[in-house]
């Protein structure tokens, strides 16, 4: 049996990942393809509890190391419990964020360092790498305007502001220069135009 394809979406907060992920789900449904959709942090009972701790704006005393290890703990859980079993059954996995988020947010923007985040990413995932990653690249100001229409306000990480999001963006773009699997997509376009590019890249992979 062929392994499923592992597809991840990345980018700064509000870059449009969920919108593209939903368009991809509709496309997979039309084609009768088997898939699951998961998100990070979260996607398991344990992971969703960790997500609540990580995003709670009352947890403003959380240290950078504690934050990093919590993201990796949630990742270890979802990789072993959900992602690897699905891929080995031949089911495609679409993931809203994966370890590139840790490289960009904790490794680069929080200055924890690529050596440490690479090491923990590898350990948490048993060296499971996405087949393709879509990095939705956008200016933080535009992403902020898009997010401001949402209910619920800013979470603990979004509250770190636009200069933080700018650092995260730099971290992602630096990563994309060395990782061939990362396709950088200009996310400041209509959703349909973005999706067209994503769809083409995925069918190239499956042909
Ligand atoms: N994090 C996560 C880390 O720091 N380290 C890690 O290792 C991991 C895994 C998770 C937070 O945790 C951090 C990163 C995050 O801060 P999240 O749930 O992934 O949080 O949060 P966000 O990235 O903020 O996700 P959102 O759901 O808020 O944003 P999306 O999914 O990027 O954006 P989306 O699609 O909801 O769109 C936002 C708005 O823009 C509109 C949409 O309609 C929506 O209103 N929109 C567009 N408007 C115009 N043109 C387009 N092309 C549009 N696409 C979407």
102 within a domain of the structure (yes/no): yes
Looking at every residue in the chain, the average pLDDT score rounds to: 95
User: Rounded distance, CA 38 to CA 24, Å?
Assistant: 13
User: Is 1 part of a structural domain of the chain?
Assistant: no
How far, in Å, are 27, 139, 155, 164, 188 from residue 151 at the CA level? 28, 21, 11, 22, 22
Residue found under tokens 């619920």: 152
Cα–Cα distance between 106 and 108 in angstroms, integer? 6
pTM for the model stands at 0.96
How far is the C-alpha of 12 from the C-alpha of 119, rounded, in Å? Answer: 22
Take atom 49 of ligand 1 and give the residue whose Cα is closest. 190
pLDDT in tens, 136-187: 999 999 999 988 877 778 888 888 899 999 999 999 999 999 999 999 999 9
Torsion angle (degrees, nearest 10) of CA 16, 127, 117, 99: 10
pLDDT above 70: residue 7: yes
Give the count of domains, the chain. Answer: 1
Task: Name which of 142, 205, 198 is nearest 10 in CA terms.
Answer: 198
pLDDT at residue 150, rounded to an integer: 72
List of residues 6+ apart from 174 with CB closer than 8 A:
108
Q: 17 alpha carbon to ligand 1 midpoint, in Å?
A: 6
Domain of 78 in residue numbering reads as 6-206
Distance between CA atoms of 16 and 92, rounded to whole angstroms?
A: 21
Is it the case that residue 131 has pLDDT exceeding 70? Answer: yes
What ligand 1 atom has the least distance to the C-alpha of 40? 9
* pLDDT classification of 106: cutoffs 50, 70, 90: very high
CATH number, domain containing residue 177: 3.40.50.300
Determine the pLDDT at residue 207. Answer: 66
CB 18 within 8 A of CB 120: no
H/E stretch holding 7 reads: strand 6-10
With pLDDT > 90 as the criterion, what percentage of the chain qualifies?
A: 88
Tell the residue nearest (CA) to atom 38 of ligand 1: 14
| Best residue for ligand 1 mutational test, from 17, 40, 79, 168 (most atoms within 8 Å of Cβ) | 17
Helices (H), the chain: 17-30, 45-55, 64-78, 84-88, 99-101, 114-125, 140-147, 162-178, 191-206
What is the 2 CA–ligand 1 centroid distance (Å)? 31
Asked if the structure places residue 126 within a domain, the reply is yes
pLDDT at 85 over 90: yes
What pLDDT is recorded for position 84?
98
Which pLDDT tens digit goes with each residue over 18-67? 999 999 999 999 999 999 999 999 999 999 999 999 999 999 999 999 99
């Amino acid at each position: 049996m062929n392994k499923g394809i592992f597809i991840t979406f990345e980018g700064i907060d509000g870059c449009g990942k969920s919108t593209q992920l939903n368009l991809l789900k509709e496309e997979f449904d039309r084609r009768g393809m088997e898939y699951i959709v998961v998100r990070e942090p979260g996607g398991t009972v344990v992971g969703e509890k960790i997500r609540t701790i990580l995003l709670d704006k009352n947890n403003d005393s959380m240290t950078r190391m504690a934050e990093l290890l919590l993201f990796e703990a949630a990742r270890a859980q979802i990789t072993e419990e959900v992602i690897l079993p699905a891929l080995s059954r031949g089911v495609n996995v679409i993931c809203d964020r994966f370890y590139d988020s840790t490289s960009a947010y904790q490794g680069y923007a929080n200055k924890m360092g690529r050596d440490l985040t690479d090491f923990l990413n590898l350990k948490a995932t048993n060296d499971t790498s996405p087949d393709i990653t879509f990095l939705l690249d956008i200016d933080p100001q535009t992403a902020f305007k898009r997010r401001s229409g949402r209910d619920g306000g800013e979470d603990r990480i979004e509250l770190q502001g636009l200069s933080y999001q700018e650092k995260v963006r730099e971290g992602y773009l630096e990563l994309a220069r060395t990782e061939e699997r990362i396709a950088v997509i200009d996310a400041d376009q209509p959703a349909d135009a973005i999706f067209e590019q994503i769809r083409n890249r995925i069918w190239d992979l499956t042909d």
